[in-house]
Structure 1
């Protein structure tokens, strides 16, 4: 139950972070946006160090660094994807892709599901698929480029989660700190190399800083959930973060929600209930 609640908290926080990041990235070059969000995330994780502790073992540093590279790619691809829009189509596609790899890895590592879990996990995946079905009547259609970016973002997010899960369970927040330090460094180097292409547009600093802070909290909640539960279950629940982005896009930007997406939200509620059963 603790892992379930942590995963749902991570999902909600990721959804809010992605919404703010997508809004903040709409006018400025994506690298400018990541240059704000990634250091903001690192600052939060450094503040958590004295509270939660950190053991910088070789495993923690190695897996954390790999997660940082994946995180830098995820930040750039995801914010660019959401900036193109529509959010209510592309965010769920990203979530669907990001769920598949961690679920597969968890099952291959020998994780076992309860009878209720055997029903709840496919239902949760189905919920992500239904929420992904954004092409209802009158809904906006995404371009092929935007869909490719969404798939790439999903793959990068999946790798980030898998790498964090592989870090030693007694390493505290060390993998998060290492990962965010690497992603910040990668972003700054890329921005320096491409500085002439960044353009004069300034990003929405407050929105992107908020997105970075929320992303850091979501990473922490996921890490704690994965350490106390099965990766397969935690990953698919985390992938439901798109529901939060979709609802925020509907309330703030008036983007349409297709009927199938509403069914998906209901299916997700049933799936979560089943996964909560012992």
Structure 2
């Protein structure tokens, strides 16, 4: 069940990131998130009320902390996606996001069966291979680290890794309420960042407009919220290291969608990485 839930989260995250990145490219990261995050909060709230559960102070605090980390990660990730290319940004972020939970899981004494461990290692290598790019390929000149796609991707990955870890701590039988707190934390960070940016720079860039762009933003927010829920259920049902690594396979979806929509070239090493990811998932499933 953990494998199915985590892979479902990976699929949802991958599609959500592609759609959100497409919106950010035509607007800005913060303006895209101002549509995506509230939408996700509404969906999570509805799901929470339907499934029941009683919130506790500790679970909501852990959830809110996870949301603050995740919100920071979303801002940096969407900015990285806007800098592009998607086929590099998403895997770099995912590799960083998966390494932190694996390290924490191992320190806590999590031990995987040999077959599952081999599958997890293959997935980690696969994420790294999918992130490889040729020197100078499709790289924009960066005037600062804020304009450097891979650097921002790595920073977003670290934030997502903290999000994965804290959300594991939030599960104490409170149902999906920790996710409500997490999405609230997302929204607080994004609103604060937007207000600060608006004060420092009145011209905050083009707005998200048009039915298509708004529709993509809303769908991205709904899918991201669904992915949060699937990961939360997976990590409460199993080990942090396993759930985080499988969830972090989402770049495979983003890369393939970017390949189709933007003709971003899939290099031989990335194709091998995708094949290794499939093999790793197969080993985890068998184990």
Cα displacement (A) at 1:158: 0.8
Instruction: Give the match for residue 138 of structure 2.
Output: 140
Cα displacement (A) at 1:53: 2.0
1:63 aligns with 2:66: no
- Tell me, in whole angstroms, the C-alpha distance in 1 between the residues paired with 2:198 and 2:53: 35
Correspondence 1:197-216 to 2 at 5 A:
197=201, 198-203=203-208, 204-216=213-225
3-state SS of 1:255 partner: coil
Aligned with 1:171 (options 169, 174, 181): 174
Correspondence 1:56-135 to 2 at 5 A:
56-135=55-134
Aligned with 1:264 (options 255, 273, 276): 273
Q: Structure 1: which 5+ residue stretches go unaligned?
A: none
CA contact (8 A) 2:120 2:245 kept: yes
Please give the TM-score of this superposition, normalised by the length of structure 2. Answer: 0.91
Correspondence 1:23-62 to 2 at 5 A:
23-62=22-61
Q: 1:192 to 1:118 in 2, by over 3 A?
A: closer
Cα displacement (A) at 1:30: 2.1
Cα displacement (A) at 1:207: 1.6
CA-to-aligned-CA distance 1:11-37 (integer Å, 9 cap, x gap): 011000000111000132322121111
**What's the RMSD between the two structures over aligned residues?**
1.6
CA contact (8 A) 1:134 1:257 kept: no
- Tell me, in whole angstroms, the C-alpha distance in 1 between the residues paired with 2:185 and 2:105: 25
Aligned residue pairs, count: 276
CA-to-aligned-CA distance 1:159-210 (integer Å, 9 cap, x gap): 1111101113312111110111122123223322332525351123222211
3-state SS of 1:169 partner: coil
Aligned with 1:152 (options 150, 155, 165): 155
CA contact (8 A) 1:139 1:258 kept: no
Instruction: Give the match for residue 145 of structure 2.
Output: none
CA-to-aligned-CA distance 1:54-79 (integer Å, 9 cap, x gap): 32112211101101111211111111
3-state SS of 1:25 partner: helix
Please give the TM-score of this superposition, normalised by the length of structure 1. Answer: 0.94
3-state SS of 1:263 partner: helix
- Tell me, in whole angstroms, the C-alpha distance in 2 between the residues paired with 1:200 and 1:81: 16
